Amino acid sequence: MQHDKNEIYDYRWGLVRKSFLREHPLCADCLEKGIVTAAAEVHHRLKARDYPALRLDSANLMSLCKACHNARTARGE
């Protein structure tokens, strides 16, 4: 079942996103490379449109900088 983008990225998502970034302020991908970079995006490990039940689950989220988020999105991750 396909979910509308407005259903996925609603008010509750905004609150979870803000809280997650506060708790995880650094880019996870950069940290793996030994680089310290501020995170600007919260990425769903399993796509929110495919797994809507996990969209607010912190275990399915990771903080990323803009460049890493764009790279993962371009790869379809």
Domain spans of the chain?
A: 5-74
pLDDT, one tens digit for every residue, the chain (77 residues)? 455 666 788 999 999 999 999 999 999 999 999 999 999 999 999 999 999 999 999 999 999 999 999 999 999 99
Q: Would you state the pLDDT for residue 5? A: 66
**HEC sequence for the chain:** CCCCHHHHCCHHHHHHHHHHHHHCCECHHHHHCCCCCECCEEEECCCCCCCHHHCCCHHHEEEECHHHHHHHHHCCC
Q: Would you state the pLDDT for residue 32? A: 97
Biggest CA–CA distance in the chain, Å, is: 39
